[in-house]
Chains A and B, each alone.
Chain A
Amino acid sequence: MIDWILTQFPDSILGYIIICAVPLLFILPYALVTIYLEMKMSAHMQDRVAYMRTGWHGTLQPFADILKLLQKEDIIPTAADKFLFILAPYIVFIGTYATFAVLPFTSSYIGSDLDLGLFYLVAVSSLVVVGILMSGWASNNKWSLFGALRSAAQIVSYEIPTALVLLSIVMIAGTMNMQQLSQLQSGGISDWYIFGGPFPIVKKLLLLPLMFILFLVQLTASMAEVNRTPFDIPEAESELVQGYNTEYSGMKFAIFYLAEYANLFAVSAITVVAFFGGWGSPFGSFMSGGVWDLFWFVLKGMFFVSINIWLRWTLPRLRVDQLMYVSWKVLTPFALVCMILIGYILVAF
Chain B
Amino acid sequence: MNAITEYFGNITQSLKTISIGMGVTFKHLFTPAVTIQYPTVKMKLPERSRNRLYVNMDDCIGCDQCSKACPVNCIEIEIIKSTPEDDLGITSSGQKKKLHVPVFNIDIAKCCYCGLCVYPCPTECIYMTNVYEFSEFDRNNLIYNFAKMTPAEIETAQIKVKKMDEETAAKKVAAALVAAQAKAALDATTQTSTPQQPTEPQ
A contact residues vs B (CB 8 Å cutoff) = 41, 43-49, 52-53, 310-311, 313-315, 329-330
Interface centre among B24, B34, B35 (most CB of A within 10 A): B35
Return chain A residues, CB-CB under 8 Å to B21.
Answer: 314-315
Answer whether residue B11 sits at the interface, using C-beta atoms and an 8 A cutoff: yes
Whether B18 pairs with A44 at a CB distance below 8 angstroms is no
Return chain A residues, CB-CB under 8 Å to B31.
Answer: 47
Can you list 21 A-B pairs with a CB-CB distance of less than 8 A? A41-B29, A44-B28, A44-B29, A44-B30, A45-B25, A45-B29, A46-B28, A47-B28, A47-B31, A47-B33, A47-B35, A48-B34, A48-B35, A49-B33, A310-B22, A311-B18, A314-B21, A314-B25, A315-B18, A329-B7, A330-B11
Return chain A residues, CB-CB under 8 Å to B28.
Answer: 44-47
Whether A314 pairs with B29 at a CB distance below 8 angstroms is no
Q: In this complex, what residue of B is CB-closest to A230?
A: B18
Q: How far does the alpha carbon of A79 sit from the alpha carbon of B101 in the complex, in Å?
A: 60
- Give the shortest distance, in Å, between B103 (CB) and chain A (any CB): 43
Whether B33 pairs with A44 at a CB distance below 8 angstroms is yes
Return chain A residues, CB-CB under 8 Å to B25.
Answer: 45, 310, 313-314
Nearest first, the 3 A-B pairs at minimum CB distance are: A45-B25, A49-B33, A314-B25
Whether A314 pairs with B18 at a CB distance below 8 angstroms is yes
Q: How far does the alpha carbon of A35 sit from the alpha carbon of B198 in the complex, in Å?
A: 63
Answer whether residue B134 sits at the interface, using C-beta atoms and an 8 A cutoff: no
Q: In this complex, what residue of A is CB-closest to B29?
A: A44
Count of chain A to chain B residue pairs whose CB atoms are closer than 8 Å in the complex: 40
Q: How far does the alpha carbon of A46 sit from the alpha carbon of B24 in the complex, in Å?
A: 10
Q: How far does the alpha carbon of A244 sit from the alpha carbon of B30 in the complex, in Å?
A: 35
Return chain A residues, CB-CB under 8 Å to B35.
Answer: 47-49
Whether A52 pairs with B37 at a CB distance below 8 angstroms is yes
Which residues 28-46 in B have Cβ within 8 Å of A in the complex? Answer: 28-35, 37
Q: In this complex, what residue of A is CB-closest to B17?
A: A315
Answer whether residue B26 sits at the interface, using C-beta atoms and an 8 A cutoff: yes
Whether B11 pairs with A47 at a CB distance below 8 angstroms is no
Contact for B34 among A47, A52, A313, A315, CB less than 8 A: A47
B contact residues vs A (CB 8 Å cutoff) = 7, 11, 18, 21-22, 24-26, 28-35, 37
Return chain B residues, CB-CB under 8 Å to A52.
Answer: 37
Return chain A residues, CB-CB under 8 Å to B24.
Answer: 314
Return chain B residues, CB-CB under 8 Å to A315.
Answer: 18, 21
- Give the shortest distance, in Å, between B36 (CB) and chain A (any CB): 9
Return chain B residues, CB-CB under 8 Å to A330.
Answer: 11
- Give the shortest distance, in Å, between B4 (CB) and chain A (any CB): 12
Contact for B33 among A41, A48, A53, CB less than 8 A: A48
Q: How far does the alpha carbon of A235 sit from the alpha carbon of B131 in the complex, in Å?
A: 41
Q: In this complex, what residue of B is CB-closest to A53?
A: B37
Q: How far does the alpha carbon of A43 sit from the alpha carbon of B35 in the complex, in Å?
A: 10
Whether B22 pairs with A314 at a CB distance below 8 angstroms is yes
Q: How far does the alpha carbon of A330 sit from the alpha carbon of B24 in the complex, in Å?
A: 26
Return chain A residues, CB-CB under 8 Å to B34.
Answer: 47-48
Contact for B22 among A43, A49, A311, CB less than 8 A: A311
Return chain A residues, CB-CB under 8 Å to B11.
Answer: 330
Q: How far does the alpha carbon of A11 sit from the alpha carbon of B146 in the complex, in Å?
A: 82
Return chain A residues, CB-CB under 8 Å to B32.
Answer: 47
Q: How far does the alpha carbon of A43 sit from the alpha carbon of B31 in the complex, in Å?
A: 11
Return chain A residues, CB-CB under 8 Å to B18.
Answer: 311, 314-315
Whether A310 pairs with B33 at a CB distance below 8 angstroms is no
Q: In this complex, what residue of B is CB-closest to A44?
A: B29
- Give the shortest distance, in Å, between B163 (CB) and chain A (any CB): 63
Q: How far does the alpha carbon of A41 sit from the alpha carbon of B28 in the complex, in Å?
A: 10
Q: How far does the alpha carbon of A329 sit from the alpha carbon of B24 in the complex, in Å?
A: 29
Q: In this complex, what residue of B is CB-closest to A49?
A: B33
Q: In this complex, what residue of A is CB-closest to B24?
A: A314
Return chain B residues, CB-CB under 8 Å to A329.
Answer: 7
18 additional contacts (CB under 8 A) given A49-B33, A314-B24? A41-B29, A44-B29, A45-B26, A45-B28, A45-B29, A46-B28, A47-B28, A47-B34, A47-B35, A48-B33, A48-B34, A49-B35, A49-B37, A310-B22, A310-B25, A315-B18, A329-B7, A330-B11
